[in-house]
């Protein structure tokens, strides 16, 4: 019986602590309200969405790696087939190969820039003005200040 009582007490304490903890979105909303709440504009956060910001989006980074690998395969095929072509055909394939190689180097440069988390963005904040508008706000990594 005593164990059940201690377990129930533990659950109540955990529930109280977890309910009192603010989410990242709550902290972002508080920062926006503290900065713009005194301006007299009504701010609506109902459709607001908190997203992470990266210097290069992870999806774009992965896409560039995938495209780079595909270009490597295509360039290898072109180089193997160029030996069996006539001079004029070889020259045209060489021009295509040069363009693909240039694109491959561009993708290699992009691949050197690894995605890095830079902060947060609160988007979809509705500001009631004579003309209602939606605004976005950027925050630092810890959501301690608004970054302009």
Placement of tokens 């603010």 in the chain: 22
Same domain, residue pair 137 and 148: yes
Which residues on neighbouring strands pair with residue 50, listed in sequence order? 122
What domain range is 133 assigned to? 23-55+116-148
Distance CA 133, CA 29 (A): 17
Q: Does residue 46 sit in the same domain as residue 79?
A: no
Tens digit of each residue's pLDDT (9 = 90 or more) over 70-82:
888 888 887 777 7
Q: What is the pTM of this model?
A: 0.56
Q: In this structure, which long-range contacts are made by residues 76-84, counting pairs with CB atoms below 8 Å and at least 24 apart in sequence?
A: none
Tally the domains of the chain. 2
Q: What is the distance, to the nearest Å, from the Cα of residue 79 to the centroid of all Cα atoms in its chain? A: 37
Give, for all 148 residues of the chain, the pLDDT tens digit. 677 777 667 667 666 665 666 788 888 888 888 877 776 678 888 888 888 888 888 888 888 888 888 888 888 887 777 777 777 777 777 788 888 888 888 877 877 788 888 888 988 888 877 777 788 888 888 888 888 7
Give a yes or no: residue 11 inside a domain.
no
The reply to whether 94 falls in a domain is: yes
**Rounded Cα–Cα distance for residues 22 and 11 (Å):** 19
């Amino acid at each position: 019986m005593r164990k059940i009582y201690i377990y129930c007490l533990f659950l109540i304490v955990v529930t109280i602590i977890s309910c009192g903890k603010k989410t990242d979105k709550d902290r972002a909303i508080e920062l926006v309200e503290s900065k713009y709440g005194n301006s007299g504009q009504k701010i609506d956060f109902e459709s607001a969405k908190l997203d992470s910001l990266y210097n290069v989006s992870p999806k774009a980074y992965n896409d560039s790696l995938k495209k780079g690998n595909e270009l490597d395969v295509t360039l290898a095929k072109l180089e193997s087939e160029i030996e069996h072509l006539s001079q004029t055909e070889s020259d045209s394939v060489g021009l295509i190969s040069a363009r693909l190689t240039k694109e491959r180097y561009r993708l290699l440069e992009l691949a050197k820039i690894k995605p890095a988390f830079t902060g947060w963005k609160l988007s979809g904040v509705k500001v009631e003005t004579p003309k209602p508008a939606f605004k976005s706000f950027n925050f630092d990594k810890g959501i301690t200040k608004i970054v302009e």
